[in-house]
Amino acid sequence: MQKPKLVYATYIRTTPRKLWEAITKPEFTHQYWGGARNVSDWKKGSKWEHVFEKEADPVWITGKVLESTPPKRLVLSWADPDRLADQSRVTFEIETMEDMVCLKVTHDKLKPGSKMLRGVSWGWPRVLSSLKTFLETGKGLNIFCK
């Protein structure tokens, strides 16, 4: 059975550089990504982590930077640190258009029926909606408590 794939496109009134920074700088991510910080030097081959500093177990997601072409394309491997054998992959593609950018996020190589698949299916529309609101209004959405 083919592995499930999520694709989500949105359009944001911002610049590619500002969007890249919103995704990669921890001082921005925590403002819209449910309080989490994305931490890495974002060079190909480097580790990256999705961190909730106040939690007892702060690293929720970890992986490697597979491709990095700022501010157009970022590809990351993605896994729960307690389940490193289940590696999925996230691709961010940023395309400039008139007064906006198109952000396309593809999350593939997910394990069918997995908790991770359910989690990211719940999460990506929330994170990307909140990201758009953050870049366009200065404040993210408060939609992360289940």
Distant-in-sequence, close-in-space partners of 48: CB < 8 Å, separation ≥ 6: 38, 39, 40, 42, 62, 63, 64, 65, 76
**Are 12 and 130 contacting, i.e. CB atoms less than 8 angstroms apart?**
no
| Nearer to another protein among residue 77 and residue 130 (C-beta) | 130
Give the C-alpha separation, 140 to 63, whole Å: 25
Q: How far is the CB of 109 from another protein (least distance, A)?
A: 19
| Nearer to another protein among residue 58 and residue 123 (C-beta) | 123
| Nearer to another protein among residue 46 and residue 96 (C-beta) | 96
Strand partners, 116: none
- Interface residues with another protein (CB under 8 A)? 8-13, 97-100, 125-126, 129-130, 132-133, 136-137, 141-143
Q: How far is the CB of 68 from another protein (least distance, A)?
A: 25
